Chain A
């Protein structure tokens, strides 16, 4: 499979929304309201909105994966941090390096921007994803609390 990773753009809207809905469902989260999806997509493709960014993986004409990443200030560093917030590969395109390529792309984007290397969160029980993450990144001792 020849894979191209590039920034999310306006004409990806339909394909992106399909993957995004599957991703949200994976987290057993109710579907996001239409206006939330619209707002997020608009921010992800808006070059003026530099803190919220999207990338897609394309196999030929088909969009088979997405990554969303956010830049935010960090009190321990001069540079901004890059938070890889969402990562999804279409089920039929798994096991072919799509997620790894997306992570590499986000890392390159962060590097080019002068931001810190990406971090991300994943469910402790997501063994499929963690199999990859354990190869490409470092598991930190941090757990997350939510108020």
Chain B
């Protein structure tokens, strides 16, 4: 953990990011079309737009974790809310506080941007992730429907 650095995702991280992203989507049983990776990466690393962004955790040059976030407007409050959309830690670096560090990084960023604090969704059977989430966040009574 001492050697891991967390910073904004940048254009030169493309290959490392792709490796993590493929593992994350595979975890959810999905494979995305290449065009989607290209568009998401371009947007996540585009300094001219502030609505979406990402942080990458690097152990030397090895990418070991990542998080994506998106801000969107909310009708109940004037400021945007921060939706933490994707969070992934490579298996070899789990249980070392990395997920918590990435979430806190997003929370700090949200605060700096004057966004409402992060919220996120998780599979209700994702026991390891929820053990962390139950410590650092509040489980809301909300469930999600999709048309």
In terms of DSSP, what is the predominant structure of the interface of chain A? mixed
| Residue in A24, A75, A138, A147 whose beta carbon sits within 8 Å of that of B146 in the complex | A138
- Supposing A103-B147, A124-B141 touch, asked if A142 and B124 sit within 8 A by C-beta, the answer is yes
Whether A70 and B36, one on each chain, are in contact in the complex, defined by CB atoms closer than 8 angstroms, is no
Q: Residues of A contacting B137 with CB < 8 Å? A: 145-147
**Whole-angstrom distance from the CB of B109 to the nearest CB of chain A?**
12
Interface residues of B in 106-147 (CB under 8 A from A): 107, 117-125, 133, 136-147
Docked CA distance A124–B139 (Å): 12
Check: B39 CB closer than 8 A to any chain A CB. yes
Whether B72 and A76, one on each chain, are in contact in the complex, defined by CB atoms closer than 8 angstroms, is no
Check: B32 CB closer than 8 A to any chain A CB. yes
Check: B102 CB closer than 8 A to any chain A CB. no
Docked CA distance A142–B146 (Å): 10
Whether A142 and B122, one on each chain, are in contact in the complex, defined by CB atoms closer than 8 angstroms, is yes
Chain A interface residue count, Cβ-Cβ cutoff 8 angstroms:
47
- Supposing A72-B70, A75-B85, A85-B74 touch, asked if A144 and B140 sit within 8 A by C-beta, the answer is yes
**Whole-angstrom distance from the CB of A64 to the nearest CB of chain B?**
19
Q: Which residue of A lies closest to B140 (CB)?
A: A144
User: What string of 1s and 0s marks CB contacts (under 8 Å) between A33-68 and chain B?
Assistant: 001100110011000000110000000000000001
Whether A119 and B145, one on each chain, are in contact in the complex, defined by CB atoms closer than 8 angstroms, is yes
Whether A136 and B76, one on each chain, are in contact in the complex, defined by CB atoms closer than 8 angstroms, is no
**Whole-angstrom distance from the CB of A24 to the nearest CB of chain B?**
7
Q: Which residue of B lies closest to A82 (CB)?
A: B147
Q: Which residue of A lies closest to B76 (CB)?
A: A32
Docked CA distance A43–B72 (Å): 13
Return 6 A-B CB contacts under 8 Å, by A number. A40-B75, A75-B68, A78-B39, A139-B143, A140-B146, A147-B137
**Which residues in A have some Cβ–Cβ distance to B below 8 Å?**
24, 29, 32, 35-36, 39-40, 43-44, 51-52, 68, 70, 72-78, 83, 85-86, 103, 107, 117-125, 133, 136-147
Additional A-B contact list (8), CB under 8 Å, known A124-B141, A145-B119, A147-B117: A70-B75, A85-B75, A123-B142, A138-B147, A143-B144, A145-B120, A145-B140, A147-B118
**Which residues in B have some Cβ–Cβ distance to A below 8 Å?**
25, 30, 32-33, 35-36, 39-40, 43-44, 51-52, 68, 70, 72-78, 83, 85-86, 103, 107, 117-125, 133, 136-147
